[in-house]
Amino acid sequence: MRIIDDGDTLPAMDALTIPTDLVSAVKTARHIAVLTGAGVSAESGVPTFRDAQTGLWARYSPEELATPQAFRRNPRLVWEWYEWRRRLVAQAQPNPAHLALVQLEQIVPRLTLITQNVDGLHRRAGSRNVVELHGSITRTICFDDRQVVESWADTGDVPPRCPRCGGLLRPDVVWFGESLPPDALQTAFAAAEQCDLFFSVGTSTVVQPAASLPFTALQAGVPVVEINPQETPLTPYARWTLTGPAGKVLPALLRHVTSEGKI
């Protein structure tokens, strides 16, 4: 259901209408799973990946930056791109979408927050049960043995070298063609199958295997809510489509859920 088509809605507390049956579904849910993507951090000033003008890949294609092959080809370019993004993320603050998800975790018996984002903003906002599918830009690993490296000598090398083995250092993120952390992946798919409400927020739903999570939920009979200003491959299948920025839609939903009594 698209909210713009919905006749049975609560009165707008702001410019958005929130379907009453969605509010009920949130209030009665025992376990909610939420999948987030880059759109959730857009209102914190962190660019998304695939927006034509402002996306992180506006100047380079993904294959030039986010693959092991790209790193082997031009490690300096890839390292410097991530250095730029690390600085951007360090200056960014959690936005109302992150904060609404913290609030949701506090009022639902169980919430599994599955994120594709590497910026750490969910944890910085205060979310506790966060599953990071694509790693974290704040950690550094050795390209050769994938061990986390906490510090290294500033020798002027770009990228710097692993203090243990001399290998090149890289960010602890998942590039195309690489496996996702198995524990995180298993937790995410189990949550998608076992939850009783699934939210997909701010993701283009194109990058696998994360993009399969809402469809796994659907196959298990779980209703899916999508929050996104744009349509995605998931849109035709979502029970509720809330068209708009997550930083407006999620707080509006939470206001409706909390204003009508506790779960």
Residues classed as catalytic: 134
Q: Which C-beta is closer to ligand BJW: that of 8 or that of 183? A: 183
Tell me the closest approach of the beta carbon of residue 81 to ligand BJW, in angstroms.
8
Contacts of residue 21, Cβ cutoff 8 Å, sequence gap at least 6: 8
Encoded one letter per residue, x for contact with ligand BJW by CB under 6 A and - for no contact, window 128-147 reads ------x-------------
Name every residue whose Cβ is closer than 8 Å to that of residue 2 and which is 6 or more positions away in sequence: 241, 243
> Taking CB under 6 A as the rule, does residue 176 contact ligand BJW?
yes
Integer CA distances (angstroms), 227 to 63, 139, 258, in order:
28, 29, 19
> Is the peptide bond prior to 251 cis by the omega test (within 30 degrees of 0)?
no
50 vs 110, which CB is nearer to ligand BJW? 50
Nearer to ligand BJW, 55 or 166 (CB): 55
Does residue 204 belong to the site contacting ligand BJW (CB under 6 A)?
A: yes
CA-closest candidate to residue 98, choices 123, 70, 79: 123
Rounded to the nearest angstrom, the gap between the alpha carbon of residue 40 and the centroid of all alpha carbons in its chain is 7
Bridge partner residues of 113 (DSSP): 34, 130
Of 178, 143, 146, 175, which Cα lies nearest the Cα of 160? 143
Q: How far is the CB of 228 from ligand BJW (least distance, A)?
A: 5
**Cβ atoms within 10 Å of 159's Cβ, excluding its own:** 21
Helices (H) and strands (E) in the chain, counts: 10, 8
How many chain residues bind ligand BJW (CB under 6 A)?
35
Query: Does position 174 bind ligand BJW by CB under 6 A?
Result: yes
Other C-beta atoms lying within 10 Å of the C-beta of residue 177: 10
The one among 17, 103, 112, 116 contacting ligand BJW by CB under 6 A = 116
d(CA 59, CA 51): 11
What character string, x for contact with ligand BJW (CB under 6 A) and - otherwise, covers 71-110? ----------------------------------------
Shortest spacing between CB 30 and ligand BJW, in angstroms:
26
Contact by Cβ (8 Å): 68, 177: yes
Q: Which is nearer to ligand BJW, 56 or 257 (CB)?
A: 56
The verdict on 38 binding ligand BJW (CB under 6 A) reads: yes
Q: Is the CB of 163 or the CB of 209 nearer to ligand BJW?
A: 209
Binding segment for ligand BJW (CB under 6 A), chosen from 14-22, 41-49, 101-109, 140-148, is 41-49
- CA distance linking residue 39 with residue 69, whole number of Å: 27
- Interaction site with ligand BJW (CB under 6 A): 37-39, 42-43, 48-50, 55, 66, 116, 118, 134, 173-179, 202-204, 206-209, 227-230, 232, 245-247
